[in-house]
Structure 1
Amino acid sequence: MHIDYTVQIWKEGSQFVAHAMPLDVMSSGPTLEAARIALDEAVHLFLVTAADIGTLDEILQETGYKFQDGKWVSPEWVAIEKHSVTMGV
């Protein structure tokens, strides 16, 4: 089975944090590439575990995936944006 996911990566101190959207799985590493590799492992283990316990289809549906033509299609992201707000505190 092949499942696509979108990844967002940012830096926190000396660590790179990677977030697999919309699965909401995260991991980190000391380099950008290490964070990517760690995230791919975490996503793989998450999905394999979900399949093993029989909840994979439910999880994918709840996270916006659609089952079309015999395969799972990931949600289409239209933007990843950085916003800010000014507070009078």
Structure 2
Amino acid sequence: MVSIEFDMIVFKENDTYVAYCPELDISSCGKSVEHAKEMLKTAVRLFIEESEKMGTLEDILEEANYKKDSSGKWLPPRLVATELVST
């Protein structure tokens, strides 16, 4: 299985913690921050495994702006800032 890096954002919705990967638009949830993070890692791993089986992983990663380095490792786009903004 291809190993990739990804950003993880965790927020709380009522009593549930939601972990979100913006690069791949995948989320999962849990009863604690750590549980939500582990569940997201599992969701991303399963997504990668299934995408590899279907032969679509490379297209998906390229569309998500991942780049392959000279060694063949996929490098993620980097989240550079987050902030709470009001209008």
Q: Which has the higher contact order (CA 8 A, sep 6+)?
A: 2
TM-superposition CA deviations, 1:13-61 (whole Å, max 9, x none): 0000000121110000111111011100000001111010000000000
Rounded Cα–Cα distance in structure 2 between residues aligned with 1:31 and 1:71: 32
Query: Once superposed, which parts of structure 1, at least 4 consecutive aligned residues long, lie more than 6 Å away?
Result: none
Counterpart of 1:2? Answer: 3
Alignment size in residue pairs: 85
Larger radius of gyration: 1
Counterpart of 1:49? Answer: 50
Counterpart of 2:80? Answer: 78
Greater strand share, structure number: 1
Structure 1 counterpart of 2:77, one-letter code: P
Q: TM-score, length-normalised on structure 2? A: 0.93
| Structure 1: 5+ residue stretches without partners | none
Structure 2 counterpart of 1:78, one-letter code: V
Counterpart of 2:25? Answer: 24
- Secondary structure of 2:8's counterpart equals strand
Cα offset for 1:2? 2.0
Structure 2 counterpart of 1:68, one-letter code: D
Rounded Cα–Cα distance in structure 2 between residues aligned with 1:6 and 1:21: 7
| Structure 2: 5+ residue stretches without partners | none
Structure 2 counterpart of 1:80, one-letter code: T
Q: TM-score, length-normalised on structure 1? A: 0.91
